[in-house]
Amino acid sequence: MNIRKAKQKDMEKILEIYAYARDFMKRTGNPTQWGDIYPKEEMLCDDIEKGNLYVCGENDGIMGVFAFITGTEPTYSYIENGSWKNDCPYGTIHRIASAGQAKIFDFCIDFCKEKIENVRIDTHFDNKIMQRIIERNGFERCGVIYVEDGSPRIAYQFTGKK
């Protein structure tokens, strides 16, 4: 499996993957985290322009997508019921999704961990599957953050290269 920066020409497949992921979340008890329209195409285009959207797959096939952004994440400036493990520079994983053909999370996480020693991620309280995957990959719960619409998310951090 390989990872590369997403290109505008990948958008049709990226949108299909996110549609599949939204449906999967609804079927597994997490209907509100992404609802019916998140992430919007405009956001994904912005991620591509900034070089923050990645796709993973094999033989030119795309099986997963995620955003990886280094630098300060504004919604992480306030955390309650805990604290971040450190204040060192970090990367944030957002909007990770699979086409359902392969388990891509571990591979994508390893890619991010190689880029920077501190990696943060958050997920919805109803997303039990993602919570297990995140914790299995060495992330520790740090507290609760609030995303732009004000809804809470469980915040995690990984420290130290794998």
Write down the pTM of the prediction.
Answer: 0.94
CATH number of domain containing 81: 3.40.630.30
pLDDT tens, per residue, the chain with 162 residues: 899 999 999 999 999 999 999 999 999 999 999 989 999 999 999 999 999 999 999 887 999 999 999 999 999 999 999 999 999 999 999 999 999 877 889 999 999 999 999 999 999 999 999 999 999 999 999 999 999 999 999 999 999 854
**φ/ψ (deg, to 5) at 82:** 155, -160
Instruction: Please give the tally of structural domains in the chain.
Output: 1
Which domain, by its residues, includes 27? Answer: 2-159
Closest Cα to residue 119, out of 74, 158, 75, 65?
Answer: 158
**φ/ψ (deg, to 5) at 63:** -115, -10
Specify the pLDDT at position 161.
57
